[in-house]
Amino acid sequence: MFSNSNYIDSVDHAFIFIVAISFILLVFITGLMIYFVIKYSRKNNPKAENIHGNLKLEIFWTVVPVFLVMGMFYFGWVGYADLQNPPPESMKVKVVGQMWKWYFDYENGVRTDTLFVPINKPVKVEVTSIDVNHSFFVPAFRFKKDAIPNRINTAWFKPEELGSFDVACAEYCGLKHAYMYTEVVVMTEADFLAKMESELAKKNIPAPTEVKTDK
């Protein structure tokens, strides 16, 4: 499985935690409802009883849910805090959205339309846009960041398995929003370096020091 310092696990765990509690409560509420509807149907119980309330019960079902939701908040926060703090040694990649494609600028000046990353190395993405809002979404890595013009949003991940994974645009951006797909390709360190070399040669960019040009 993938994990970027357990980011994926923490999303999945928080999700399962909340789904489990919700499922139990939903079954309880629905079950009770069906049970009452049958037990106290007009046929089985022609005469109802007026019960105005019960303060203890009200306090109980106010306080217990407060604790439950605070637990949910905590799980969600832990995973999120992780995503916000890239390790200092992360490789930086600028992710730029435009109608309707992505491009990626590496620190060495290479620009690609597919995101190539080495395995087991933290990658910090700096997401932005040059026209309207987009959102950089990698479902397999469980995160997205909005690409907004004049603004840089960061996130990071550490891929732990080789392969390619879909990148989608998650913020509506017009005609070809549904076709703004590209991929993250996770490679071995050696393959990655070779890829960068060949990209540099292909684009005829003399040296990494030549600085990337943003327009």
CA angle 157–106–192, rounded 5-degree value: 70
Query: Which one, of 198, 173, 174, lies nearest residue 187 by Cα?
Result: 198
Partner whose binding site includes residue 62, from Cu ion, another protein, none (CB under 5 to 8 Å by kind): another protein
- Residue 205 lies near another protein (rule: CB under 8 A): no
Structure tokens belonging to residue 35:
């049970």
Distance in angstroms (rounded) separating the CA atoms of residues 129 and 135: 9
Among 94, 102, 117, 144, binds another protein (CB under 8 A): 144
H/E element holding 50?
none
Among 3, 5, 98, 153, binds another protein (CB under 8 A): 153
Distance in angstroms (rounded) separating the CA atoms of residues 120 and 5: 10
- Residue 7 lies near another protein (rule: CB under 8 A): yes
Residues ≥6 apart with Cβ < 8 Å to 174: 99, 100, 132
- Residue 169 lies near Cu ion (rule: CB under 5 A): yes
Among 5, 75, 199, 205, binds another protein (CB under 8 A): 75
CB closer to Cu ion, 100 vs 165: 100
H/E element holding 127?
strand 123-129
Residue 121: strand pairing partners: none
CB closer to another protein, 168 vs 200: 168
Among 168, 173, 185, 187, binds Cu ion (CB under 5 A): 173
CB closer to another protein, 100 vs 199: 100
Q: What is the DSSP letter of 149?
A: B
CA 203 to chain centre: 33
- Residue 146 lies near another protein (rule: CB under 8 A): yes
For another protein, the binding residues in 85-114 under the rule CB under 8 A are none
> Given the rule CB under 5 A, which of 5-13, 20-28, 104-112, 127-135 is the region that contacts Cu ion?
127-135
Structure tokens belonging to residue 171:
């913020």
For another protein, the binding residues in 19-38 under the rule CB under 8 A are 19, 22, 25-26, 29-30, 32-33, 36-37
| Shortest distance (Å) from residue 170 CB to Cu ion | 7
Contact residues toward Cu ion (CB under 5 A) are 134, 169, 173, 177
